[in-house]
Amino acid sequence: MKIAVLFGAQSFEHEISVVSAIALKKVLKSEIVYIFCDYERNFYLIPTDKITSKRFSSGEYKKDKALHVKQGGFYAKKMLGEEQISFDVMINLVHGRDGEDGKLSALLDFFGIPYIGPRMEACSISYNKLFTKLYAKEVGVNVLPYQLLHKGSNEAISIAYPFIVKPLRLGSSIGIGIVKEEKELAYALDVAFEFDDTVLIEPFISGVKEYNLAGCKTDSFTFSIIEEPQKEAFLDFDKKYLDFSRTKRVNEASLEVTLEKEIQTSFIKLYDPLFLGALIRCDFFVIDGVVYLNEINPVPGSMANYLFDDFDGVIKRLVNYLPHTTTVTKEYRYINSIQAAKGK
């Protein structure tokens, strides 16, 4: 099997996507075709044996083969005509804007390119933290209390200190701050509003238990191990950036069977049917024995490969269970009948 990895794009998480793409080279046994989208949203075919982070930061990638998209796939110009880049399936590995907000999903669907990743509806819901909360509650998964605050608003904050301030549409801890007292609020809001004109405020609960679970649905559900991240009170962007390069399997959390099943049940409620065709990671809190959704990662860093014993096998199975759109029959029955009635 030949797998194309699409990464980069115009996103605050562009660099994380680059790191994730390079990490997959160590864990996928299939032949990999790397397709890079730069900040200007131009596509390039990156030689698999020459992919390094420096290639992108230096601009050297611009010497690689430029690509364009049309029906059926990605194409490169030749002296006479063009050639299609051959692959069986594509992995959307673009984090943040473009990759997780639905733009690339729409592009790939429009041009009939098979891909592993969230579809447009899933992107719309999971990219926006408010929509994620509303969706989780609708499917019966608990969420923490929250409040929205718009830039320039004088609305009072009803969440008690300490709380977390998050840009509404961003991931990887970018722009996020913990506010322990009032004197820290203005700075935290200034930082968050640099990335979005709306922020979400949630209680900060010190020492809360957090568990991460990844998975997908094929003929049945495939779950990763459940990880309990060993981290500090707050994992900032720089630490998460290094974390995205992980390829070694992490240690499994020691959980009671009932709690493990409850986390898996919550995952199923969130996944099916919205995220069919994607491998996602859900991060949960457990407070006083109750499971709460923290966030949905529709395109997890390095595809959460480090949570699986056989990541390559999971990807190959998922390829056989991608959603299919209904084929529209090409016909002009109504137009022709109207024309016939008018004698034209």
For the segment 192-203, the average pLDDT, to the nearest whole number, is 94
For the chain, what percent of residues have pLDDT higher than 90?
80
Residue 325 domain-assigned?
A: no
Place of tokens 């030949």: 2
Among 100, 120, 74, 81, which Cα is nearest to 169's?
A: 100
Q: Based on the domain organization, do 104 and 174 belong to the same domain?
A: no
Q: Based on the domain organization, do 61 and 49 belong to the same domain?
A: yes
pLDDT at 75 over 50: yes
* Domain stop point among 98, 116, 134: 116
Q: Based on the domain organization, do 196 and 278 belong to the same domain?
A: no
What angle do helix axes 120-127 and 103-110 make, rounded to 10 degrees?
A: 180
Q: Which residue has the higher pLDDT, 174 or 108?
A: 108
245 confidence band (pLDDT: 50, 70, 90): low
Mean pLDDT, all residues of the chain: 92
pLDDT at 316 over 90: yes
Q: Based on the domain organization, do 138 and 111 belong to the same domain?
A: no
Residue 44 domain-assigned?
A: yes
Q: Specify which residues 282 forms β-bridges with.
A: 213, 296
Residue 95 domain-assigned?
A: yes
Residue 335 domain-assigned?
A: no
Residue 334 domain-assigned?
A: no
pLDDT at 241: 47
pLDDT at 271 over 80: yes
pLDDT at 332: 86
Among 328, 331, 322, which Cα is nearest to 108's?
A: 322
Query: What's the CATH code of the domain at 182?
Result: 3.30.1490.20
Residue 167 domain-assigned?
A: yes
Residue 339 domain-assigned?
A: no
Residue 195 lies in domain = 147-203
pLDDT at 258 over 70: yes
pLDDT at 275: 98
Q: Based on the domain organization, do 112 and 130 belong to the same domain?
A: no
154 confidence band (pLDDT: 50, 70, 90): confident
For the segment 135-147, the average pLDDT, to the nearest whole number, is 97
Query: What's the CATH code of the domain at 227?
Result: 3.30.470.20
Among 116, 102, 107, which Cα is nearest to 70's?
A: 107
Q: Based on the domain organization, do 133 and 262 belong to the same domain?
A: yes
For the segment 209-220, the average pLDDT, to the nearest whole number, is 96
For the segment 76-98, the average pLDDT, to the nearest whole number, is 95
Residue 294 domain-assigned?
A: yes
What is the pairing mode between strands 209-217 and 280-287? antiparallel
Specify whether the CB–CB gap between 244 and 299 falls below 8 A: no
pTM of the model: 0.89
Q: Specify which residues 91 forms β-bridges with.
A: 5, 116
Q: Based on the domain organization, do 66 and 161 belong to the same domain?
A: no
For the segment 100-113, the average pLDDT, to the nearest whole number, is 96
pLDDT at 340 over 80: no
55 confidence band (pLDDT: 50, 70, 90): very high
Q: How many domains does the chain have?
A: 3
Q: Based on the domain organization, do 190 and 224 belong to the same domain?
A: no
pLDDT at 231: 59
3-state helix, strand, coil in the chain (%, to 5): 30, 25, 40
Q: Based on the domain organization, do 265 and 134 belong to the same domain?
A: yes
Q: Based on the domain organization, do 23 and 84 belong to the same domain?
A: yes
Q: Based on the domain organization, do 155 and 213 belong to the same domain?
A: no
pLDDT at 239: 52
Q: Based on the domain organization, do 84 and 165 belong to the same domain?
A: no
pLDDT at 247 over 90: no
Least confident of 16-30, 119-133, 183-197, 318-332: 318-332
Name the E strands within 142-289.
Answer: 142-143, 147-150, 163-167, 177-179, 198-203, 209-217, 221-227, 280-287
Query: What's the CATH code of the domain at 83?
Result: 3.40.50.20
Beta-sheet strand order (sheet of 73-77): 82-84, 73-77, 65-70, 43-46, 31-37, 2-8, 89-92, 115-116
